[in-house]
């Protein structure tokens, strides 16, 4: 376990809980809260030791150390991000170094393209995705995934009308596959999963994201981009 985290005792569950160790008391991760499973992400982030903030307006992006885009319906999240004027701001902040974690519909939002159709995307990762890739008959399923970056213990993946990554550019690090298809990946400060880690109680991916956010912070907050946000 990285030094950023220290173990504390969770008396209720009787299990070890890892807390983020950072001198910055206001280490806050935003969660886009327009539609979908945002509350579960807030809970997971707080259990992992960060403060979570629901984001609906541009000014709520201010001061964030990272941002989560949850699962839901990517066409709806995309349209709402356009009408709330969040799409450009998030793209600018991510371009200036703010890490972003996208799960399921959030993975679609981070992509540079979808195989079929046209919808607003952030275009922050060099990936092309196939939505609802596992077909109508297998809309939802669960599978234990091998994610070497997280250690030997498999990660329980909950897939709900999930996409997969159809094409990944050479700068993209594939972290997990299901049936040979990439379902988790990372590129710079961007992290995506086709499944829903916020629904499992396994905090390893949220911790990984917090580590990414801590190292991005060390390299300096994207102050210039924040100033240019306005309201």
Residues binding ligand GLN (CB under 6 A): 71-74, 104-105, 108, 131-132, 160-161, 163
Nearer to ligand GLN, 51 or 115 (CB): 115
| Cβ within 8 Å of residue 2, ≥6 positions away | 211
* Catalytic hit among 41, 42, 196, 206: 196
Any catalytic annotation for residue 51?
no
CA 199 from chain center: how many Å? 13
Which of these is catalytic: 7, 104, 128, 152?
104
In the bound state with ligand GLN, the residue whose beta carbon lies nearer, of 18 and 159, is 159
Contact in structure between 56 and 84 (CB atoms under 8 Å): yes
Residue 213: closest CA among 20, 34, 56: 20
Say which of 21, 198, 206, 211 is annotated catalytic: 198
Q: Which is nearer to ligand GLN, 111 or 225 (CB)?
A: 111
Q: Please, what is the minimum distance in Å from the beta carbon of residue 76 to ligand GLN?
A: 8
- Nearest-approach distance from CB 104 to ligand GLN, in angstroms: 3
164/175 Cα distance (integer angstroms): 13
Task: Give percent helix, percent strand, percent coil of the chain, each to the nearest 5.
Answer: 30, 30, 40
Any residues with CB less than 8 A from the CB of 226 and at least 6 apart, and which? Answer: 61, 62, 63, 93, 96
- Provide, rounded to whole angstroms, the least separation between the CB of residue 18 and ligand GLN: 26
196 is catalytic: yes
- Work out how close the CB of 197 gets to ligand GLN at its nearest, in angstroms, rounded to a whole number: 12
CB 79 within 8 A of CB 192: no
The answer to whether 82 and 120 have CB atoms below 8 angstroms apart is yes
Q: Smaller CB distance to ligand GLN: residue 132 or 215?
A: 132
Catalytic residue flag (residue 206) = no
Catalytic annotation, residues: 104, 196, 198
């Amino acid at each position: 376990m990285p030094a950023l985290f220290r173990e504390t005792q969770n008396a209720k569950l009787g299990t070890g809980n890892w807390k983020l160790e950072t001198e910055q008391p206001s280490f806050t991760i935003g969660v886009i809260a327009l539609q979908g499973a945002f509350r579960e992400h807030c809970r997971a982030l707080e259990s992992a030791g960060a403060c979570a903030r629901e984001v609906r307006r541009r000014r709520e992006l201010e001061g964030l150390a990272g941002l989560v885009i949850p699962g839901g319906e990517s066409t709806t999240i995309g349209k709402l991000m356009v009408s709330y004027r969040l799409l450009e701001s998030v793209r600018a902040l991510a371009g200036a170094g703010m890490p972003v974690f996208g799960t399921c519909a959030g993975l679609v939002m981070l992509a540079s393209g979808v195989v079929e159709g046209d919808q607003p995307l952030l275009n922050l990762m060099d990936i092309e995705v196939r939505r609802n890739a596992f077909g109508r008959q297998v809309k939802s399923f669960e599978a234990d995934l091998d994610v070497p970056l997280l250690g030997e213990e498999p990660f329980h993946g909950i897939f709900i009308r999930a996409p997969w990554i159809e094409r990944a550019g050479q700068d993209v690090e594939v972290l997990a596959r299901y049936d040979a298809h990439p379902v988790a990946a990372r590129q710079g400060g961007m992290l995506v999963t086709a499944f829903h880690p916020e629904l499992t109680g396994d905090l390893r991916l949220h911790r990984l994201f917090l580590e990414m956010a801590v190292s991005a912070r060390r390299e300096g907050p994207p102050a210039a981009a924040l100033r240019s946000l306005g309201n």
